[in-house]
């Protein structure tokens, strides 16, 4: 019980300290410390085994633990990147840093909340904390992005609340003992009223799907990613989207227990493939680097939805995808932040020859590109292959064909856009680019180091996966699956060559 | 058939208020109508328990108090301040005209009754009008969100949507923990507060709150 409380209290307390300190330097230091102490708490929490949860409001289960960990790692890396990124901004630094820690608090609460209602409250709180972050640079475009983010997510999440209420209605017939906690719902799954649960799941899928960036309600996402500062884009795509994904997984867990796994999975596959289709349309020919990355996020969320929808054997690669996606999406946005400062623009056409001019950044850009598009030896290769195998073994041939097609289109779109940025010729005068001399040097290092860290971590985990990581992924996958077979199949898949 | 005159009157009034919000072009009137609707709905948690012959619980009183404090007093106050701080009083002509949207709203109410009669509730509600009132309020909230162009009316649409969900949540008063319900109300309030700040910035940036101008960001 101590872990969930610490996970909420630590960032909240650091956020309050941040609000009260007078000097900007100190506030920045407190934000970074907060993010790393949070990571420390998470690492410490892995030392104890998962205790079975009772009917509690908050608690740590394998699924939430995995997501809270990836969010914690990304947040710690982002806090370092932000130290280098920070410049004079329009909105107050005090509010901004406090909002970052408030966002972390809300996301941690999403991960540890075991009650569907509390989960909703936490996710909506994360929208509210995120809005000022998007408005960092000020101006009309950032304002538009912030407004779209706030309104679309609030309305989407309002529909999800309706879904939570429908799920609660479904549980009324099962007796007074059933509460809205995941455990209780899963335990009494067969007694839930299927009609109301279906309605509830669809509303939650649409509502939380808005926040997760599933098409057709993804339209806030490219705008928000395009206009927000790079570290915030990294948080949005790596942390906020995953938290919303967790919310959908919770709804899916309940459906699975109520024997509605096929129904829920079918809709997840439909929305997932549609998101991949939309992403592949907009990735090709995209001119703005961060919008390109945003559509890549939509693509990856689609992949996750399809994987979970396939269920069974695909659950393990789905969890593997969650883990590795965070590293590379974070790293790509960090690289975008460096390139944005270096070239003074995020337009793909303006960024050329990064490898020659900024060798380290160019190298990181290429590594993150290959990792994010799923080339071996990076982790996303294994997860995507795993999902393809799962689709084949369960006979979802149309899903498999569409999935593979969209993966290829996105790959081509990403590579054709990014390779010229790394190699490219002399499209503008050399003087236009920032040189990072003297006093600026540390900024460059502070911005590049977290990207190295994430890519390195992802690479190591792809080449050698320690048994505790595999165990954690297995447990999370087993929490999704049909409860008798999930773990067995995941183990069988892993033994058959997957990592 | 369950029937309780006071409860039914409140629900019918809430539905009519939806229509009058659709019809009114003055923003201040819209906000007042919303406050009045929220006040009526805040009576329901307590009223519902009296209607089924129970002694109202502390839970119901607390929800009612929080709803009145946040949705009847604080949110309208914040919105009115935004309104007064500028020169905006009238709504811009929406995509669908005022008369037409009232007609669509009336159709939505009819459709809600039709839908509600088909849905089977696991337990009898304290009034047969609860479900149609909830559904129609949700529809009309969504309609306002989609068809209106000023940022403030979109916020009002969001709030009407939330009111609809609030009516729906009345079924579950004793099943949702108090902490969660208060959290929901607080989230809505903070959400509107931040929306109001963004609206303020939008007006400073563009000189008005017409979100139609917010179309800079799109694929070319």
pLDDT in tens, B123-157: 777 788 889 999 999 999 999 988 887 888 889 99
- Model confidence pLDDT, tens digit, residues A311-348: 888 899 999 999 999 999 999 999 999 998 888 888 88
Q: What crossing angle do the helices spanning A261-283 and A397-422 adopt, rounded to 10°?
A: 30
Cβ separation of A180 and B154 shorter than 8 Å? Answer: no
> How close is the nearest chain A Cα to the Cα of B16, in Å?
22
Option in A118, A151, A162 nearest B168 (CB): A162
Chain A positions touching B151 (Cβ under 8 A) are: 147
Phi/psi for A113 (5° steps) reads -75, 135
List A residues 89-118 in contact with B (Cβ-Cβ < 8 A). Answer: 115, 117-118
ipTM of predicted assembly, 2 dp: 0.90
Q: Which residues of A touch B166 (CB under 8 A)?
A: none
Across the interface, which of B158, B169, B214 has its CB nearest the CB of A155? B158
Query: Cβ(B127)–Cβ(B51) under 8 Å?
Result: yes
Share of chain B above pLDDT 70, in %: 89
A125 touches chain B (CB under 8 A): yes
Asked if pLDDT for residue A302 goes beyond 90, the answer is yes
Q: Does A173 touch chain B (CB under 8 A)?
A: yes
Inter-residue contact A137 to A143 (CB < 8 Å): no
Which chain A residues have a beta carbon less than 8 Å from that of B154? Answer: 151
Please name the residues in contact with A99: beta carbons below 8 A apart, sequence gap of 6 or more: A129, A130, A132, A133
SS3 B210: strand
On whether any CB of chain B is under 8 Å from the CB of A349, the answer is no
Q: Which residues of A touch B142 (CB under 8 A)?
A: 155
Counting one residue from chain A and one from chain B, the pairs whose CB atoms sit within 8 A come to 120
CA A225 from centroid of its chain's CA atoms: 13
pLDDT of residue B24: 84
pLDDT in tens, A224-245: 988 898 999 999 999 999 999 9
User: Cβ of A168 and B194 within 8 Å?
Assistant: no
- A182-240, pLDDT tens digit by residue? 888 888 888 888 999 999 999 999 999 999 999 888 889 999 988 898 999 999 999 99
- Closest Cα in chain A, distance from residue B90 (Å): 21
* Alpha-carbon torsion (A398, A373, A305, A286), positive or negative: negative
> Domain residues of chain B, as ranges?
5-213
Classify the C-alpha dihedral B90-B96-B101-B105 as positive or negative: negative
Token couple for A243: 């938290």
pLDDT band at A498 (very low <50, low <70, confident <90, very high): very low
The residue of A154, A174, A285, A413 whose CB has the most chain B CBs within 10 angstroms, and thus the best one to mutate to test that interface, is A154
Q: Dump the DSSP string for A362-407.
A: HHHHHHHHHHHTT-TTSHHHHHHHHHHHHHHHTT-HHHHHHHHHHH
Chain A hits for B201, CB-CB cut-off 8 Å, are 135, 143
Token couple for B35: 């406050």
pLDDT of residue A56 exceeding 60: yes
Task: Name the burial class of residue B164, with classes exposed (0-12), middle (13-18) and buried (19+) by CB atoms within 10 angstroms of its CB.
Answer: buried
pTM higher than the cut 0.90: yes
Which two three-digit tokens encode residue B71?
A: 């949705």
Interface-testing mutation among A98, A126, A148, A155, with chain B (most B C-beta atoms within 10 A)? A155
- Give B98's Cβ-side CA count (13 Å radius): 13
* Tokens of residue A171, six digits: 């549980």
**3-state class (DSSP) for residue A218:** coil
E strand or H helix at B189, and its extent? helix B178-206
Instruction: Decide: B95 and B147 in contact? Cβ < 8 Å.
Output: yes
Name residue B210's beta-bridge partners: B150
CB B148, CB B160: distance < 8 Å: no
Alpha-carbon distance of A278 to A299, in angstroms, equals: 8
**Residue B41 contacts residue B11 (beta carbons within 8 Å):** no
Contacts of B136 in chain A (CB under 8 A): none
Alpha-carbon distances, residue B136 vs A466, B14, B113, B163, B185 (angstroms): 55, 10, 8, 11, 21
Beta-carbon contacts of A86 under 8 Å, excluding residues fewer than 6 positions away, are A28, A93
Closest approach of B158 to chain A, Cα-based (Å): 7
By three-state DSSP, how is residue A34 classified? helix
pLDDT at A429: 54
B191 closest CA partner among A158, A471, A11:
A158
Is the pLDDT at B114 greater than 50? The verdict is yes
pLDDT tens digits for range A121-164: 999 999 999 998 998 777 788 888 998 899 999 999 999 999 99
Question: Nearest-CA neighbor of A123 among A220, A246, A14?
Answer: A246
> So what's the pLDDT on residue A486?
42
């Amino acid at each position: 019980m101590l872990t969930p409380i610490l996970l909420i209290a630590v960032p909240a307390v650091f956020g309050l300290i941040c609000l009260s300190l007078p000097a900007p330097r100190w506030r920045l230091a407190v934000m970074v410390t907060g993010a790393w102490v949070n990571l420390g708490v998470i690492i410490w929490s892995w030392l104890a085994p998962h205790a079975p949860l009772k009917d509690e409001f908050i608690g740590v289960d394998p699924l939430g633990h995995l997501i809270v960990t990836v969010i914690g790692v990304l947040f710690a890396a982002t806090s370092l990147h932000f130290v280098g990124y920070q410049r004079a901004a329009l909105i107050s630094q005090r509010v901004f840093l406090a909002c970052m820690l408030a966002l972390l608090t809300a996301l941690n609460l999403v991960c540890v909340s075991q009650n569907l209602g509390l989960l909703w409250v936490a996710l909506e709180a994360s929208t509210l904390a995120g809005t000022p972050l998007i408005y960092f640079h000020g101006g009309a475009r950032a304002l538009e992005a912030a407004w779209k983010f706030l309104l679309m997510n609030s309305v989407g999440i309002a529909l999800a609340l309706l879904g939570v209420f429908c799920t609660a209605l479904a549980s009324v017939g099962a007796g007074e003992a059933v509460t809205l906690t995941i455990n209780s719902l899963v335990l009494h799954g067969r007694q839930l009223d299927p009609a109301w649960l279906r309605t509830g799941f669809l509303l939650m899928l649409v509502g939380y799907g808005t926040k997760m960036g599933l098409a057709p309600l993804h339209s806030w996402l490219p705008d928000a990613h395009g206009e927000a500062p790079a570290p915030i884009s990294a948080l949005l795509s790596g942390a906020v989207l995953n938290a919303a994904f967790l919310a959908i997984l919770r709804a899916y867990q309940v459906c699975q227990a109520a024997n509605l796994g096929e129904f829920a999975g079918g809709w997840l596959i439909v929305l997932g493939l549609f998101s991949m289709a939309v992403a592949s349309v907009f990735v090709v020919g995209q001119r703005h680097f961060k919008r390109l990355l945003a559509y890549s996020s939509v693509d990856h969320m689609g992949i996750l939805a399809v994987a979970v929808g396939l269920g069974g054997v695909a659950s393990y690669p789905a969890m593997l995808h969650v883990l590795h996606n965070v590293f590379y999406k974070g790293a790509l946005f960090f690289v975008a932040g460096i390139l944005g400062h270096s070239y003074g623009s995020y337009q793909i056409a303006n960024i050329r020859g990064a490898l020659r001019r900024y060798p380290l950044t160019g190298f990181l850009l290429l590594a993150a590109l290959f990792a994010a598009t799923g080339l071996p030896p990076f982790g996303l290769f294994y997860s995507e292959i795993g999902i393809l195998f799962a689709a084949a073994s369960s006979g979802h041939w149309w899903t498999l064909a569409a999935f593979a097609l969209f993966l290829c289109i996105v790959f081509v779109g990403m590579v054709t856009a990014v390779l010229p940025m790394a190699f490219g010729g002399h499209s503008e005068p050399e003087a236009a680019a920032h040189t990072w001399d003297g006093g600026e040097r540390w900024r460059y290092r502070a911005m590049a180091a977290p990207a190295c860290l994430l890519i390195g971590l992802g690479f190591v985990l792809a080449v050698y996966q320690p048994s505790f990581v595999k165990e954690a992924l297995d447990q999370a996958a087993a929490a999704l699956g049909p409860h008798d077979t999930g773990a067995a199949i995941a183990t069988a898949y892993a033994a058959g060559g997957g990592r | 058939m369950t029937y309780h005159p006071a409860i039914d009157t409140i629900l019918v009034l809430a539905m009519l208020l939806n229509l009058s919000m659709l019809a009114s072009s003055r923003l201040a009137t819209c906000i007042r109508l919303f406050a009045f609707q929220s006040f009526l709905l805040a009576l329901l948690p307590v009223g519902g328990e009296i209607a089924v012959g129970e002694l109202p619980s502390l839970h119901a009183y607390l929800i009612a108090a929080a709803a009145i404090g946040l949705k009847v007093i604080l949110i309208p106050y914040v919105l009115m301040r935004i309104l007064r701080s500028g020169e905006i009083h009238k709504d811009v002509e929406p995509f669908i005209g005022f008369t037409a949207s009232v007609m669509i709203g009336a159709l939505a109410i009819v459709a809600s009754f039709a839908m509600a009669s088909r849905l089977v509730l696991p337990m009898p509600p304290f009034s047969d009008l609860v479900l149609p009132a909830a559904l129609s309020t949700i529809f009309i909230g969504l309609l306002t969100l989609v068809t209106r162009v000023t940022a403030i009316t979109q916020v009002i649409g969001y709030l009407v949507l939330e009111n609809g969900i609030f009516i729906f949540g009345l079924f579950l008063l004793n099943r949702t923990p108090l902490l969660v319900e208060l959290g929901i109300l607080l989230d809505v309030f903070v959400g509107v507060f931040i929306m109001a700040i963004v609206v303020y910035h939008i007006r400073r940036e563009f000189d008005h709150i017409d979100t139609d101008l917010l179309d800079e960001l799109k694929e070319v």
